[in-house]
Amino acid sequence: MTLGYSRIILAGFALYFMSYHPKYCTIAYGISCLLDAADGHAARALGQTSKFGAVLDMVTDRCTTSLLLCYLSSAYPDHIWVFQCLITLDFSSHYMHMYSSLVTGSRSHKAVTSDVSRILKLYYDPRTLFVMCAGNEMFFVALYLMKWVHTPLSTSLGMDVGLLSGYTWPEAMAIVCFPICAIKNIVNIVQLWKASKILVGVDLAERAKAREEETLRAKKT
């Protein structure tokens, strides 16, 4: 739990430095994201997993990413609608998924079976989840740093690096991480769709049960 609170504090520092000190911002943001992976492993190893901790972890993830996307909206005003859509998709997808997990009695929103979705089962494998989340955050951080770093790799390294020579290192990082970011957001769409189907199914089942009970009461009277 201490790691979870540390993440929140570091995210606050990242937000404070975001508009004028990219080095401090990136360090605080990066450590906060790394603690996300360490927090879950530590909680399971020490037997300190809890529903509050799981929800706090997810909320912290959503808020941390959103604060960076809000800054990117101002840094890239021509693409503000893209960042707004990403924020909306991120929150709606994870909220619907978390709520559907609670309604169906799942022990964790990460405990997805292949019957529900093979894609989500693969995504919530710890190794896959780490790569997807890390690549997604690194892409957004790269976009942030592109506004501050303008020296091409060939100049900063003092050597020819082929096709990447004309790019800055944040631009190169963005190119590498973009496919991961794209895949993660496709998974978010799948997650939103599957969670919506589950909740609709629960509603239909509850209504059918209510009608049956009403029919039985009517027969008894």
Q: Give the catalytic positions in this structure.
A: 61
* Planar angle of CA 27, 31, 32, nearest 5 degrees: 115
* DSSP 3-state percent helix, strand, coil across the chain (nearest 5): 80, 0, 20
Rounded Cα–Cα distance for residues 145 and 130 (Å): 22
Rounded Cα–Cα distance for residues 42 and 7 (Å): 14
Q: How far is CA 130 from CA 3, 5, 37, 142, 211, in A?
A: 17, 20, 7, 18, 45
Lookup: tokens for 58: 């997810």
